[in-house]
Chain A
Amino acid sequence: MKKPAVVTALLASTVSTPASAAGDLFIYTWGEYTPPEMVEKFEKTYGVKVHIDTYDSMETMLAKLKSGAGGYDIIVPGHDTMTILIGEKLLEPINVAAMPNYQHVDEMWRDVFWDKGRLYSAPWAWGSTGLAVDRDIVKGDDTSLKILFEPDDAVKGKINMLRDVNDVINMALRYLGKPRCNDNPEDLKAVLDLLSTQKQFVKSYNSETKELLVSGEAAVSMSWNGYAMRARDERPSIEYIYPNEGYTGWMDNVAVPKGAPDIENAKLWINFVMDPENAAMITNYARYANGIKGSEAFVDKALAGAPELSPPESAPAPEFLTACTPAVTKLYDRVWTKLLR
């Protein structure tokens, strides 16, 4: 999940409540992702003062951690970044599986490939990266990526792509039927051709997808499911599509960076997050599923049957990708530079 820098910057200061603190907890996470009521409840329960800083991409977070800027107790990395963080020894092994509230974690999210046996992290939220379309403009019920890559005249000039190298190239690779994390030069040339041809119809490469969809500037946009749902709240003709060529699934995880100032408070937070009632707050606020059993009982009724949270039977399963190798990253960057040069 990625969040636009702009909204993040504007809202960064909204969540910090002074309390008679028995210590502090410094959280570094996505913007608009941590429910204020959840923070308040945690502060009241443990007398710990919570401070939140936000990032707008995994790369920003990783760059900050790599440059040695620490001081955070909690980070919320995506599953693909988890692999890198564990490999680079940037996380504290806190044995989440031994925590009391771990019993609530759905079996599906226990022995995950990015954190075998949950030594480092707890689930925060998970979702998918698909398409959001304005059904007033894109008629019919087509769920193909053709809408995006070979657009109808009505859609030309009203397409928004996420500003994310991996997400954009992965989506193009799926449309071409080629494997992800691809280092085959022929395939990447085909991707560049596809994206270059599409570029003339693209309005922007922007992660403010909700804003663009609601204002009507984009009729088709790559989007995360939760963000598409929030767009639908404001513009009912928005529909989230699970492309039949496949789409990316992701899970954000709560983890503790190496050298965290207060590991005990960090553990309190992680255990707190796995409580069904608290996890439900995440879903109600950020509109993503949370991976905690029993949280359904506390989730708003209006969200329970939302198409953004439950894919139709016909949709393929989400694809949880691993981080690409440095060699692939380098090739992707060249495709991206050539596309935007």
Chain B
Amino acid sequence: MSARPLALSSRIPQGFAHAGLLWPSLGVILVFMVAPIAIMLTYSFLVPGAYGGVEWTFSTAAYEQILFERDFLDDSLTFTPDYLIIVARSLIQATVATLLCLVISVPTAYYIATRSDRVKNIWLFLITIPYWVNLLIRTIALLFVLRDDGPINSALLDVGVIGQPLALSYNGFAISLGLIYSFLPFMVLPLYSAFERFDFRLLEAAYDLYASRRVAFFRIVLPVMRPGLIAGSLLVFIPSVGSYLAPDILGGGKTLMIGNLIGTQFQAARNWPFGAALSMILLTITLIVLLWLARRAAQQQRSN
């Protein structure tokens, strides 16, 4: 049995075999990623059809609309902060969610990684349990928990701590909580695997060499943890920026995030090119974050 792989690799020319293995994934990327993005990019430079759809006339109006609007009264082109405010809100909400996930996940992941194998598996299993249920249903469940007549408010009212239900739902707080709740495991798991790989003897060695706790953390722990931190932060930040359900359900539709704004453009507003342009902006934001992190990682590598 052990001779088989060897025989196989000696029969097929290496380079050719490896390139061939790439085709399935390349095919998937071409069909499901490159093509949709190309369509989106094309649509973003067209004119909206009267009742949805697009007309095949080139226009950059969709991109202008993000920053400028025709005035209600005199039709002059003026700067409008409306869409920037929505984009900024999305970025802030996502950043807050990422930071809070980080704060919660570091001790959690550390705790799990330092248990015995059996206990570790139980904890990891528990973390994945909520993911057996669809995100939509989990978000609605969270709304039921936060509502005026939900368990939290009912309990506090019964005990007499509060006289009026706390405003836990339909606001920014509920949106943040929803984002954290939705994406927390995406932070815990990469951090866990980073901690698990961490060789705690390195830390002992550092202390033996008179490193302070601070120095030991920044020089020993952080560099080892960095890939996990970056992966976890990206996995939380990216879906949070484009989040649709949390603002829609937990925020009560009172404030838009960029995901909701895009949704509106394809439906009620019937402005597909603008929706496509906003999607391109969202994609660009994601790319910028990714590139920035990649550059930082490369710099770090060099300085080490």
Contact = CB atoms under 8 A, between A and B. Distances in A.
Interface of A: 6, 9, 57, 59-60, 62-63, 66-67, 84, 87-88, 157, 163-166, 185-186, 188-189, 199, 202-206, 215-217, 323, 326, 329-331, 333-334, 336-338, 340-341
Nearest to B170: A204
B50 A326 contact: yes
B202 interface: no
Interface of B: 48-53, 69, 72-73, 82-83, 85-86, 136, 140, 147-149, 167, 170, 249, 252-256, 261, 264-271
A203 B170 contact: yes
Contacts of A203: 170, 252
B253 A333 contact: no
24 contacts: A6-B249, A9-B136, A57-B268, A59-B52, A62-B51, A62-B52, A66-B49, A66-B51, A66-B52, A88-B51, A157-B167, A166-B268, A204-B254, A216-B148, A216-B149, A217-B148, A326-B50, A329-B268, A329-B270, A330-B269, A330-B271, A337-B83, A337-B261, A341-B82
Nearest to A185: B72
Given A66-B52, A67-B53, 19 more contacts: A6-B140, A62-B270, A66-B49, A84-B51, A88-B51, A164-B268, A199-B254, A202-B254, A204-B170, A205-B254, A206-B252, A215-B149, A216-B149, A217-B148, A331-B72, A333-B265, A333-B269, A340-B256, A341-B85
Contacts of A341: 82-83, 85-86, 255-256
A206 B270 contact: no
A337 B254 CA distance: 11
B5 to A, nearest CB: 46
Nearest to B48: A326
Nearest to B267: A59
Contact of B256 (A59, A66, A88, A337): A337
A163 B148 CA distance: 20
A116 B210 CA distance: 90
Those 7 A-B pairs whose CB atoms lie nearest each other, nearest first: A204-B252, A59-B267, A185-B72, A333-B269, A205-B253, A66-B52, A326-B50
Contacts of A326: 48, 50-51, 270
Secondary structure of the A side of the interface?
A: helix
Nearest to B72: A185
A201 to B, nearest CB: 11
A336 B271 CA distance: 14
Contacts of A334: 69, 82
A333 B170 CA distance: 22
Contacts of A340: 253-256
Nearest to A165: B268
A202 B73 CA distance: 29
B264 A333 contact: yes
A296 B72 CA distance: 50
Given A326-B51, A329-B269, A336 B148 contact: no
Residue with the highest number of chain B CB atoms closer than 10 Å, among A60, A323, A337: A337
B72 A188 contact: yes
Given A9-B136, A202-B254, A203-B252, A337 B82 contact: yes
A340 B82 CA distance: 9
A203 B254 CA distance: 8
Given A202-B254, A206-B253, A217-B147, A185 B51 contact: no
A215 B72 contact: no
Contact of B252 (A59, A60, A166, A205): A205
Given A6-B136, A217-B147, A63 B52 contact: yes
A215 to B, nearest CB: 5
Contacts of A59: 52, 266-268, 270
A28 B252 CA distance: 27
A154 to B, nearest CB: 12
Contacts of B254: 199, 202, 204-205, 340
Given A6-B136, A334-B69, A63 B266 contact: yes
Nearest to A326: B50
B267 A63 contact: yes
Contacts of B252: 203-206
B247 to A, nearest CB: 10
A67 B51 CA distance: 11
Contacts of B73: 185-186
A215 B266 contact: no
A330 B252 CA distance: 23
A66 B261 CA distance: 20
A334 to B, nearest CB: 7
Contacts of A157: 167
Contacts of B136: 6, 9
B168 to A, nearest CB: 11
Nearest to A88: B51
Nearest to A83: B51
A336 B249 contact: no
A164, A206, A329, A341 interface centre (most CB from chain B within 10 Å): A341
A88 B51 CA distance: 8
Contacts of B86: 337, 341
A337 B257 CA distance: 11
Of the candidates A60, A165, A203, the one having the most CB atoms from chain B within 10 angstroms of its own CB is: A203
A185 B255 CA distance: 24
